[in-house]
A and B are shown apart, each in its own frame.
Chain A
């Protein structure tokens, strides 16, 4: 894939951007109502916040938010495998407490990852040139917020070149990085 800059010259050595995933949030449903009081009293490592419980696991470091309707959200996984294992562990714990738990509709909801570009970026130039949904309020936050609707991703671009990518699934991260790289390169300062 040939990248071209503003003067239509090919950019050589287009680096494949590496990214590291910091947080995977997933959710699943148990198809039964959960008695939060029973879980809070008998479960391990459980915190009570009124209408929901936080169950913290140690082995994959996962915090699960448990609702009485049976919906559970697990956050804190460092990779999608970890998230899935953590979610299953939570479900297993609930099963041991006596609930007829099933593992339904497992879905990764949110993935937060970081990446970086090896050059300094001129943020106001990027904000002007980027042809899409992009916000830059230097008074409020020191980054440019780019939203890529087709990939369901949003990227925070800092002037040092660091990127924070938030997306709804893992595959779209590398795609959005490839997409954005041209514009970042063009706004190189």
Chain B
């Protein structure tokens, strides 16, 4: 029996006194007079003690079920799985109970998209956080039906592109195109549509973001990375290089950095890894050659002139 009035526990004689919870007895006690104000308080702390690594599987008995997927918060339904034991099959070997899929097309699409996004992330070797972001963007797009009539693969690829960009590890359209089924044109169109509707902090990919990754793919030593980065940062001031695709600029910068530190890679190698066309890289390389004094520090300028 609790002495409460309107569900606020307080002592009758000391209405403003703070109450202390007595865990052992399950009481709320008034600090002034010791009157037990509320009893049978339910203790919501853990029922038993758990230690880290107490069992080999380190199962926490306090927790129930799998971790909640942030993209799937609304869906708490369960479904009956396929039969495994002998009781589930009749004499002919057919399953007795066939699971009927009562899944809405939206949920099905989202499930397929989730799987596809995870596969793409594997191929791109990208983090789990990006997978979550991409799934979130996709569910956003799907919920609000922002894109009608575009192939699902293109939408998924566009979500992936945006997610990578948001987490500051941008993947170029060509890289995403390589791991997905749709064409760069389709992905680009979907991307433009999504960008308008979904709030993202999308910043246009700059060559600086790409240089590090391409250099490591080409197995170039660390000093070359830094040199290429520097070249790229200075190259954005040159007029004709300004409007160029970031992949091409990065490729040309890497070519120069590699040449100059005697780790030279051929145009074809760089083109294969970076995705830019050989002729484009050569064109930008020529422009950069004309601006050597601006781009390269003193030590390397002669090396570049010598290698021509």
Chain B residues with Cβ below 8 Å from A118 are none
Chain B residues with Cβ below 8 Å from A159 are 239-240, 242-243
Give the distance in Å from the alpha carbon of A142 to the alpha carbon of B239 in the complex: 14
Q: Which residue of A lies closest to B244 (CB)?
A: A138
Residues A139 and B247 in contact, CB atoms below 8 Å apart:
yes
A174 within 8 Å of B by Cβ?
no
B-facing mask of A124-140, CB < 8 A → 1, else 0? 10010000000111111
Give the distance in Å from the alpha carbon of A139 to the alpha carbon of B275 in the complex: 11
> Looking at chain B, what size class is its interface with the partner chain?
10 to 19
Q: Which residue of B lies closest to A189 (CB)?
A: B239
Pair count A-B, CB < 8 A? 43
Residues B188 and A124 in contact, CB atoms below 8 Å apart:
no
Residues B236 and A139 in contact, CB atoms below 8 Å apart:
no
Residues A124 and B192 in contact, CB atoms below 8 Å apart:
no
Residues A139 and B239 in contact, CB atoms below 8 Å apart:
no
Give the distance in Å from the alpha carbon of A72 to the alpha carbon of B192 in the complex: 31
- Out of B240, B242, B245, name the residue touching A139 (CB < 8 Å): B245
A94 within 8 Å of B by Cβ?
no
Residues A140 and B242 in contact, CB atoms below 8 Å apart:
no
A120 within 8 Å of B by Cβ?
yes
A122 within 8 Å of B by Cβ?
yes
Closest chain A CB from B165 CB (angstroms): 11
- Out of B173, B236, B240, B245, name the residue touching A124 (CB < 8 Å): B236
A34 within 8 Å of B by Cβ?
no
B166 within 8 Å of A by Cβ?
no
- Out of B204, B239, B242, B247, name the residue touching A137 (CB < 8 Å): B204
B-facing mask of A91-120, CB < 8 A → 1, else 0? 000000000000000000000000000001
Chain A residues with Cβ below 8 Å from B191 are 137
Closest chain A CB from B185 CB (angstroms): 8
Give the distance in Å from the alpha carbon of A159 to the alpha carbon of B243 in the complex: 7
Closest chain B CB from A177 CB (angstroms): 21
From known contacts A136-B204, A137-B188, A139-B172, infer whether A124 and B247 are also in contact, taking CB-CB under 8 Å. Answer: no
Give the distance in Å from the alpha carbon of A48 to the alpha carbon of B244 in the complex: 42
Give the distance in Å from the alpha carbon of A143 to the alpha carbon of B245 in the complex: 11
Give the distance in Å from the alpha carbon of A158 to the alpha carbon of B192 in the complex: 19
Most B-side CB within 10 Å, residue of A127, A137, A142: A137
Residues of B at the A interface (CB closer than 8 Å) are 172-174, 184, 188, 191-192, 204-205, 236, 239-240, 242-247
12 A-B contacts, Cβ less than 8 Å apart? A123-B243, A124-B242, A138-B204, A138-B244, A138-B245, A139-B188, A140-B188, A142-B245, A158-B243, A159-B240, A159-B243, A189-B242
* Inter-chain pairs besides A123-B243, A137-B204, A139-B172, 8 sampled, C-beta below 8 Å: A120-B239, A137-B191, A138-B246, A139-B205, A139-B245, A139-B246, A159-B239, A159-B240
